[in-house]
Chains A and B, each alone.
Chain A
Amino acid sequence: MIDVRRVSKRFAGRGGRAVAALVDVDLRVQAGELVMVTGPSGSGKSTLLFTLGAMLKPTSGEVFLGDTSLYRVSPGRRAELRRTRLAFVFQTFNLIPYLTCLANVALAASLAGRARAASLDRARTLLGRLGLGARLHHRPAELSVGERQRAALCRSLVNDPEVLLADEPTGNLDEPMTDEVMRLLADLRDGGLTIVMATHNLRVARLGTRVVALREGRVADDWPSVLPQAAA
């Protein structure tokens, strides 16, 4: 499903000194896995996710989604992959504040080329399924933190992606809400969705099927979780 081959990413730091965010990372993610990427702040978790998400071109190495090398295709094709096969959930939700919950979710469907009515139908269905049926016309500011994260999750799922990339989606949530989101992710994984999630919370990390630990941009550990079924 996802094949990361010797990916390195360096950023220009202060004084022209390069900062290595990822160093020769090799990673294979199979379909249906729930991979937890852990590590301390600055270890390269988000950089790896953005690289997997066709948003951040690595300095060297290649990232494959199926047979497609993400950074050998045109920017337009990468945008298409982000619309259709890849999805992203952010720690800060990134819902558009002046759109309703429904419109935020439908926006992603519209971008993928669905008609407005179809986009709204699909968004309504998903939001209902994730328990936000009564919040369709609320704006993000009128939703609880957990509801916002669920709405963001709906937006990422609206186009039936193959891979969900989640960057610390529980980072701003308290424990009960974290468990709720993790239950959702586990359900989605059970439904066949491949999920790669960054977290620095080891309790959460143990809920994945596999844990990849990054340290200073390198894969330090890669092991199956001891409690893969815990979230379910």
Chain B
Amino acid sequence: MAYVLLKTLGVRWFDLLLGAVVIAAAIATLTVLTSVNASAESQVHDLAHRLGKNMLVVPAGTSLTAFYGMSYGDASMPAALPERILSSDLAEHISSAQARLYGNVDANGVPIVLGGEAARARGQPPTEGAAAEVVLGRTAARRLGVEAGAYVVIGTARLRVARVTDTPPDGLDLAAFTSLATAQQILGRPDAINALRLAGCWCRIDVPTLAAKVERRFPGTRAVTVAGVMKAQTGTVAAARRYSKVLTAGAGALIAGIVALLGAAQVRRQRREIGLLIAIGARARLVVLLFLVEAVLLGAAGAIGGYLAGHPLTAFYTARLVGLPLPVVPGQFVPLAALAVLMSLVGTAVPALWAARLDPTTVLREV
């Protein structure tokens, strides 16, 4: 019977290919969605870890999702903001300020993140890295194909790679770090920063209160704390999860629907063959089994195709949505394949029962 099944599949290869493509599309969509959701969740934890007890001040119009997705817009704050904060009455709570300007640039034709930094401790003059040097995250170095000591052209500047680090600031592995002045020059934004990290001992004031004071005292800023970000990101993840439930249900329905349509088409087209099988003694359950096996194969083929297609699609969409081409979250294949196979089985149930109940005395006499 396996031979007959294989032959049947061979005869209907185009229908089955079409069905597998639709299932693959559904599974690829779910692969991307699950990966985006998981990345958003992991970003929350990563962010909490990176922020620690510190506070991040960004321009008020900054989209944090885009910011943490390494997609930086034009919003900026004056470069003098650290000095103004450190000379205000809030300075007693703040021990140091790191001013940064992030931007998206091309280096040797590869899109990377450029970060310029100038740190300043309370009562101390600002310190900056060497103007003509850059520190690269490991991934950035690999993509650029450079090592320490080499030169890299970022925007309009030719900079020497001082070192390649496995522990880049804020975990920005796909970034190049240089002095604030150099970044401002390359990005064409003199006297602008778009991130200010404040560190200190919050023993006399709680962080949310200090954040509110910073925003009030310096209009146009937004003070980000772990508590606030966690709340916002958790909301985003929850919304994404709700959305993903709808999409998962939709994908499942699509898979069941396409398999049901294919099954129904098969029953209509191959009614004589099915009728013959019944006439020569095939049990109803064998007919049903043939449909179920076909559904399992179709679902599995679609799942494998969808999962494979999901890798480049996840990289593509996460690059657009969160700014980084993220990998597919491991461990997704089994549940997605189970979904595809299960919904294929659900979809094939009605045509299979229809086929098993075909009356051979009717179909075999049709001319």
Which A residues fall within an 8 A CB radius of B?
A: 46-47, 50, 53, 55-56, 75-76, 79-84, 87-88, 90, 92, 94, 96, 98-99, 103, 107-108, 110-112, 116, 155-156
Contact = CB atoms under 8 A, between A and B. Distances in A.
Interface stretch (B3-11, B28-36, B41-49): B3-11
Nearest to A90: B364
15 contacts: A50-B361, A55-B360, A82-B279, A83-B281, A87-B280, A88-B280, A92-B364, A92-B367, A94-B276, A98-B8, A98-B10, A103-B3, A103-B7, A107-B4, A111-B1
Contacts of B7: 98-99, 103
B361 A56 contact: yes
Query: SS class of chain B's interface: helix, strand, loop or mixed?
Result: helix
B230 interface: no
Contacts of A82: 279-281
B276 A79 contact: no
Contacts of A50: 361
Listed residue (A92, A96, A155, A156) with the most chain B CB atoms within 10 angstroms of its CB: A96
B10 A112 contact: no
Contacts of A90: 364
Given A83-B281, A107-B4, 17 more contacts: A47-B361, A55-B360, A76-B284, A79-B282, A84-B281, A88-B280, A90-B364, A92-B367, A94-B279, A94-B364, A96-B273, A98-B11, A110-B4, A111-B1, A111-B281, A111-B286, A112-B281
A210 to B, nearest CB: 24
B272 interface: yes
Contact of A94 (B4, B10, B272): B272
A108 B272 CA distance: 15
Contacts of B364: 90, 92, 94
A83 B140 CA distance: 69
A56 B276 CA distance: 14
B204 interface: no
A80 B361 contact: no
Contact of B4 (A55, A80, A99): A99
A118 to B, nearest CB: 14
